[in-house]
Structure 1
């Protein structure tokens, strides 16, 4: 068990629908991390950008990107997290993977597909809420549009860290900022959101605004809004315990059964 968790937030541009070049780009960025890191977080669809052309860039769980993630996780002795397009059982998924140094993988299929962009017509929505444990931290990973739906993130499992990977566009970035902070406060957990920057192949602009919040909604990172950067954030388990014990807000949460 670790009382602290050190996280590298990778805020970056992505190359449109080009897994090979994106792996090369991200490999170079990850190689610049020289300090000891527990988690490395990449954006949503980090091999392609947010594309509906699933057939052209989809991979399998035995594909090149998963193999590369396993190699980098082992090399850096860190969990690497991000989503990519996966083909499985004749379906496409916007699948988040958490790849541990041991090679173990926790996977989460995006529950809330983005209907405004037609994502629901291309990708099959997930049905399972996922947690994974690493170094004594319970972590709940989610993807982009999931951020708008607080019931799906409701902290009934007493998790410590809520993560969102995203391609969240500039016109609605105020919602991203507000909701990330709200998710931290209402769940009394650390909340980190990692968004890309730059233009995609549809000429949509992404302004970054990656951020990390503590259990009271205080910003604890130093990430510039719209720059390519790797920012290191250190989370302290003692902060969670202190405020949960003192305030006991989670004890008053509503009980309900979630049906999907």
Structure 2
């Protein structure tokens, strides 16, 4: 109830002329802001001009995604025309995880450094692309209903060394489990990568992407138009892993966010 009140009050304050000086967003989480078309003005988030997105289920409305980076702190300033909303970033209590993998996946040999950089640059270029059209018209679905073995946000200690944070949610899955697309979209990555292994990345439009990693088989190709529920590959244990599973991720609002909380926020607000 408290969250619903904050959501209502935040939208009212930003869109109807009363500045709200304080609202909170957790690091690594996203907030969906909704506006009637006539109230949606020039949108600037954290100093960068952004685009309002057509509401997927309600005519006459638009929405925007405000996301806090995992490592961010301080505030996010959102301007809608001459109205302003200030988000205070709350540090969430993410845990540390100890993981044992092949040492070559922790300190890669020089022979693969060029490959790693190429794969990273390719992904960053894709995520920097904002497709104006929103390809979805229904709520997101979590690809598996199995046990979550590793939630978003944990500090990853690979073989005792801190290397990264967990940018997605891991689901238990033996090798060969069919992996469905979380929603409609266009495939932007479909290949084997050094760290992520067999990888599929789907563009859902308007800066929203879902990621499916460590696949043993990829069943789609770049440019394919996929529908929600369509099988994009089979789960596996490829890349930097300690065992078979599905890594599911969401990139939205310009950064990696908690996929479980994003889906909950997106579905509750827009459908």
Give me the TM-score of the superposition, normalised by structure 1.
0.25
More strand by share: 2
More helix by share: 1
**Max radius of gyration: which structure?**
2
Give me the TM-score of the superposition, normalised by structure 2.
0.24
